Amino acid sequence: MSGTAAEGAVVWSRRYLDYAWTPYHPMNPIRLELTMELAGCLGILDGATLIEPAAAADSDLLRVHAPDYVQAVKDAVPSSWDEPDEFGIGGEDNPVFPGMHAASAMIAGGTLQAAREIAAGRVQRSVSIGGGMHHAMPSSTAGFCVYNDVAVAIAWLLDNGFSRIAYIDVDVHHGDGVECAFRDDPRVLTVSIHQDPDTIFPSTGRAEDVGEGAAAGSLVNLPLPPGTDDGQWFRAFSAVVPRVIAAFGPQIIISQCGADTHREDPLAQFALTVDGQRAAYLAMRDLADRYAQGRWLAVGGGGYELLSAVPRAWTHLMAVVLGRPLDPGLPVPQDWLDYVRAKVPDAELPAALGDNGDLSFTPWPGPAEESTDESDRAARVDAAVAATRRAVFPLYGLDPDDPRV
């Protein structure tokens, strides 16, 4: 990186708030508005590099998406369709909203700009909390996602000097769209840590799905059981992800940082705290520092506890990217509490920037913490770790049963 590069940058536009499905849809853009307001109240954006993006051009969307799909998004009009069309447009999950193409292209343009800032050497790290639409497929919407901004950015990087890109997805849902886009490309490593696909959308991302042929080993899937908490999540993450990243040797790390792993998220069943999510961001930044010359691009993603979990999690994410990590024990600013209650008078809001989470864990394969869950969740976590290591590690010449690896 250039010696004049800024440490980190935030890519943001209020036009991200136009990505608004219906008033009662789980993905409400108020989560982005409240995140930026909290970051502003805490002062982490003072003097920071803030970048206003432009919408992605059709030529960039077509790096990933089929022409007839992009045209269908442009042509879509709001209706009362009960079922999605051939492109997945319409229905309960992905209803048409006014300006859908423009809003979705703006999200993609933000992640693309974040990638360009790093590629040009202007910053080491960048973040666009509006991004992370990791379920969108080449020819269809899926899981609240229209254009796959992350895949668009990766495709652009591959055409602009990068040949080893590691994508780490810590959303509670499998990063299926990004995996699909690059599953045959050995230049892109996709790592997804997610809830057991038998228990949650999109029902994909099993340990044995590792890629084929020249791309064997480029897919890493670590599915964990419902109820996985901070310590169990980090026991699994630390037993798999650093080893694979080190073996792959990326030039840049891209992270999808969905906040729906939080214990209060209404659409998922993990039990992480904001403290655990913050620690995950720090861990991924450390991986970028150790293995990718500090290059790290972070985006948002899922997260449906709109008022408490998401704003705190992604404020921590921006702070980590900017090199200004926040103490999770700090009180939430009164100005922010007043701002939220002016919009949602009966909101139950947190007192601190963290949840006083317990991040302690015994590294795998030491004795797991005893679980109070009748299903013995700790044993299931360890079984998931073992399955992923045995599926992936031999493809990198690593012994899956060696605790030193």
What CATH number is associated with residue 98? 3.40.800.20
Would residue 405 count as lying in a domain?
Answer: no
Q: What is the pLDDT of residue 81?
A: 62
Q: What is the pLDDT of residue 368?
A: 67
Q: What is the pLDDT of residue 2?
A: 40
pTM strictly above 0.85 = yes
Helices in 176-253 by DSSP H: which ranges? 176-182, 230-248
Give the total number of structural domains in the chain.
1
Would residue 80 count as lying in a domain?
Answer: yes
Q: What is the pLDDT of residue 6?
A: 77
d(CA 295, CA 8): 10
Would residue 402 count as lying in a domain?
Answer: no
CB atoms within 10 A of CB 145: 26
Dig out the tokens for 256 from the structure. Answer: 């999808």
Contact in structure between 236 and 224 (CB atoms under 8 Å):
yes
Would residue 101 count as lying in a domain?
Answer: yes
Can you count the helices (H) and strands (E) in the chain? Answer: 11, 8
Contact in structure between 96 and 89 (CB atoms under 8 Å):
yes
Known catalytic residue at 262:
no
Would residue 298 count as lying in a domain?
Answer: yes
Would residue 1 count as lying in a domain?
Answer: no
Q: What is the pLDDT of residue 83?
A: 81
Would residue 97 count as lying in a domain?
Answer: yes
Residue for token pair 């849809």 = 25
Would residue 197 count as lying in a domain?
Answer: yes
Q: What is the pLDDT of residue 1?
A: 37
Q: Which range of residues forms the domain containing residue 372?
A: 6-396
d(CA 159, CA 148): 17
- Low-confidence residues of the chain, pLDDT below 50? 1-3
Single out the catalytic residue among 134, 135, 173, 262. Answer: 135
